[in-house]
Structure 1
Amino acid sequence: MSLCPDLPRPGFSFDNCKRNAALESRGYKSKGFVKTGTTIVGVCYKDGVVLGADSRATGGNIVADKFCDKLHKMSNKIFCAGAGTASDCDKVTEMIRGQIALLELNSGRDVRVASVVRIIKQYLYRYQGHIGCALIIGGYDATGCHLHSIAPHGSSMELPYLTMGSGSLAATAVLESRWKPDLDLEATKKLVRDATAAGILNDLGSGSSVNMVVLTKKGNETFYPYDIVCAKGVRSGLYDFPSGTTKVLRTKVIPYEIEKVEVRGASEEDEPMDI
């Protein structure tokens, strides 16, 4: 009790709700939440790591890109699957990839997965979650295969299978029911595909195709796409109407005169234009 004289009250705390209500009464509007949509999956098997991700990028309720690449190459045997804000994931992984390349040149050997995780988590921790970048890092190094997840505020954990994003709840159900310690490559690829497809089919922010990368001792093998889950449907009817289907009630022609403009070449007296 001398070390902790004031124990927290049991139950839920609504102090922030009261604070937000007081700020709104003074004219300060609270910022709304940001909805992101992604399903990324990583699974370790006996010879390496398999990463999978969907390919839909959304802006609110609009599908901005149907073929968004969410699997970022960090080195020859290390890849990173990103969820959250697309621009943050792209720029953070691009910046860290440059640091990793310099590290490999200076040391003369391949970088380890733990080093990549340490560099990224230290960078994200500085911004306390304001960079919307949730990552799953998988790879193969001198100590074997590894799979880590990094939250936007910098915390990380290492597990044999991981999933992140708004479709992670559906993907987790598939992983927990079917994962085994010593899966072979084909079974692992099928598991990653089904887990990612579960997120695609049960989450509006995830969609299109399943992209996949296999990381082993020999290097990486990418599958873009591995499977198209939400293929575009075929129109059931014909929408080409012949000319004259719509009746023309009246026609009016307005003549439009084009003004003649004289065009001349530049002379020595003309001043150059500033840019």
Structure 2
Amino acid sequence: MSQRHTSCAPTPSRIKRHGLCMGRILCMLLFFFPVITVAVSRPGQEYPRGSSFNLGLIDDNANDGANAGLGAGGVDFLGGLSTGTTMVAAKYKDGVVVGADSRSVKNGRYVADRFTDKVQQVSEYVVLVCSGRTAVVQRLNQEIAARLRFYQIQHQRLPTSRHAAAVLRILMRMGLEPVEEKQQRNDKTQVTMDTDALAAGWSPREGPRIHQVLTGGTVLEARDYAVAGHGADYIVGFMDAHYPQVEEAGKALAHAGMSKEDCEEIVRRAMALAVGRDTQSGEGVTIAVVNPQGTTKRVLSTAELQRSLKKALSVVQATENRKEKEREGATP
């Protein structure tokens, strides 16, 4: 009776079979790994995976974003730093100029940070500046920048300030914390984000644009300029004097003939006035310019801010003197 012996030496057919088996196993692992990861992870990741992230969130034809698919991740809305902030955005003929202070305060009294960069570039031709709690503002900037990048990849075109304002409106209405996480905690409270924001930018199709997003999600498009934040009340009259309202239909807007240098000087003076009066605005001022050449940012020194303040006060005084003379001349 003969005994059959099998050799364990590798043969081409064996190597091929083993390779196919390993390939199938690897494909199955790669296919099921995202599902396993989402199933076992906590519902607090920075960005959702898979189809739950709705790339149509900021589509041109999207409405309010009921199916927004907002990113997961809770935010501590209680306590922490806040940015009182003075924000200014003004148009000129070829672009926009945006200004904001750099002070962060705690509980409205204690100056916690003097060098906060509040003007954030969220796209190549879009900048965003927000007021409110620092943690919320930082998270909003991250979310909006990520969604604008996805929009650019999906539609193969650059997003505008209108898209940034649309995303911010949805985030302000629906909140940054996912509904699933609140349901797990049986939390029925609704936290509103006390945030004002300005989204400004330039696009080849629309030119310079400024959108103001109010608390609650209302979006307003500015004709020439917009001011917001804690120190806005101190400079709205100054901006009105440099951007007269145009009532006649068909007449060019006030910014149509304005140069970049003039617009930047107006924003610098306005910020200097706000920093000089508002208790929650102060220290340095960041100026950003968005035009067809791209986005540039710079921080004004204390000396530059003082010079701008003196010029602004001299302009205000000259305006008051002129009005006083006009009133005296009109008196019989």
Give TM-score scaled by structure 2 length. Answer: 0.56
What code does the residue aligned with 2:281 have?
A: S
Partner of residue 140 from structure 1, selected from 202, 205, 213: 202
Equivalence for 2:126: 78
Match of 2:140 in 1: 92
Please, which of 227, 238, 241 is the counterpart of residue 177 of structure 1?
241
Residue in 2 aligned with 1:217? Answer: 292
Correspondence for 1:152: 215
Q: How far did 1:35 drift?
A: 8.3
After the TM superposition, which of the residue ranges 119-128 and 85-94 deviates more from structure 2?
A: 119-128
Query: Pick from 35, 51, 54: which aligns with 2:101?
Result: 54
Within 1, Cα distance between the matches of 2:239 and 2:91?
A: 11
Cα displacement string for residues 114-157 of structure 1 (whole angstroms, at most 9, x for unaligned residues): 22211211221224871132110000012211001001210010
Count of residues in correspondence between the two structures: 198
Q: Does 1:125 align with 2:199?
A: no
Q: d(CA) in 2 for partners of 1:227 and 1:168? A: 21
Q: What amino acid sits opposite 2:264 in the alignment?
A: K
Q: Deviations over 1:215-246 (max 9, x none)?
A: 001211111x124237xxxxxxxxxxxxxxxx
| Equivalence map 1:1-275=2 (5 Å) | 37-60=84-107, 61-127=109-175, 130-141=192-203, 142-159=205-222, 160-179=224-243, 180-181=254-255, 182-223=257-298, 225-228=299-302, 229=305
CA distance, structure 1, for counterparts of residue 136 and residue 236 of structure 2: 25
CA distance in 2 between counterparts of 1:69 and 1:106 reads 30
Cα distance between partner residues in 1 of 2:119 and 2:126: 10
Distance (Å, rounded) in 2 between the aligned partners of 1:188 and 1:195: 11
* Structure 1, gaps ≥5 residues long: 1-33, 231-275
CA distance in 1, matches of 2:297, 2:202: 15
Runs of 4+ in 1 over 3 A off after TM superposition: none
Question: In the alignment, residue 106 of structure 2 is paired with which amino acid?
Answer: G
- CA offsets per residue over residues 13-44 of structure 1, 9 Å max, x none? xxxxxxxxxxxxxxxxxxxxx98621010001
Structure 1 length as normaliser, TM-score? 0.68
Match of 1:248 in 2: none
Give the match for residue 238 of structure 1.
none
**Larger helix share, 1 or 2:** 2
**Which structure features the higher share of strand residues?**
1
Structure 2 unpaired stretches of 5+ = 1-80, 176-189, 244-253, 307-332
Q: Alignment partner of 1:207: what SS?
A: coil
In structure 2, relative to structure 1, the CA distance for the partners of 1:35 and 1:140 (3 Å cut) is closer
